[in-house]
Amino acid sequence: MAHHRVMILGTGPAGLTAAIYAARANLVPFVVEGNEPGGQLTLTTEVENFPGFPDGILGPNLMENLRAQAARFGAHFQEGWVTRVDLSRQPFTVTVNENDTHEADAVIISTGASAKLLEIPGESEMIGHGVSTCATCDGFFFRNKRIVVVGGGDSAMEEATYLTRFASELTIVHRRSTLRASKVMQDRAHQDEKIRWALDCTPVSVRSENNQVRGLEVRDNKTGKTKIIETEGLFVSIGHRPNTEFLGGQLQLDPVGYILTNPRNSATSVKGVFACGDVMDPHYRQAVTAAGSGCRAAMDVEKYLEGAFVHDWSMALG
């Protein structure tokens, strides 16, 4: 069984930044890349809001650069998916792909959160070509375009309101006749002159032409009839699912499943286990904030392995 000082689970901006910092601290981190190496940014095209790239950079290229930087300083990578962990005793045990078991003195969890998709025909093929799950990331590319937002919660209303600064017109599609969003968020959306509504409508398929989104087919739940809402941009805002199932309840999570961390650092409820990125951040979900939290986690791990880190979980609960 291979033994490591620190294992990093996940390779989005958080995990790769943690790998860079841990490697430069001579901790020789062992990084499990997951079944989506590079995280959600590998599904995007141009990234224009990550510092240091005035002309933007393609999402996959940014992740490749971060990975190469970590490898340069001595990080080791393994493709695969963590299937189970044992955090009940130290060293911790991490099993990859069901039968490849490793031991680690410390673990950084950066497995991210997966955006929930509609799972309708044409959707997955058009991700990065008109279908998006992040208004802040991609809204700029739809300046003076028609946009559709699918969802009925606060996040959907917030994203729709944000996107109206770019859209020529915007339609909110929701499968129910009433919204789940708070009244304040509903009122804000209803007061926006650019926003149109398609309530009680169920998305059926994404229509595309020449590898670009051209419309969303929806079914009117009252009449059963279908229609096409013409659009160049489809933003799916129906929530995220943190990738924490493999933990088996060994860490304290919030009601949705995000890992709880001490607000003053990256420590989790188990001493020696740290978390960063979207797996513990349900609010910002940005590459730059994830990278920053990866830096924090690596620095915390370094102190922990030196015996200088104070794990005070009561501080997190208080």
- Catalytic residue numbers? 134, 137-138
Q: Amino acid identity, residue 31? A: V
Token code pair at residue 25: 């601290």
Closest to 256 measured CA to CA, from 162, 158, 153, 174: 153
Q: Report how far residue 151's alpha carbon sits from residue 35's, in angstroms, rounded to the nearest whole number.
A: 27
Residue pair 46/90 in contact by the 8 Å Cβ criterion? no
Q: Report how far residue 129's alpha carbon sits from residue 122's, in angstroms, rounded to the nearest whole number.
A: 11
112 three-state secondary structure: coil
Token code pair at residue 73: 């300083």
Helical (H) or strand (E) element with 76? strand 76-78
Q: Report how far residue 251's alpha carbon sits from residue 246's, in angstroms, rounded to the nearest whole number.
A: 11
Q: Report how far residue 40's alpha carbon sits from residue 240's, in angstroms, rounded to the nearest whole number.
A: 12
Q: Report how far residue 142's alpha carbon sits from residue 46's, in angstroms, rounded to the nearest whole number.
A: 12
Token code pair at residue 75: 């990080």
Helical (H) or strand (E) element with 294? helix 287-305
Q: What is the DSSP string of 95-142?
A: EETTTEEEEEEEEEE---EEEP----TTTGGGBTTTEES-HHHHGGGG
Q: Amino acid identity, residue 185? A: M
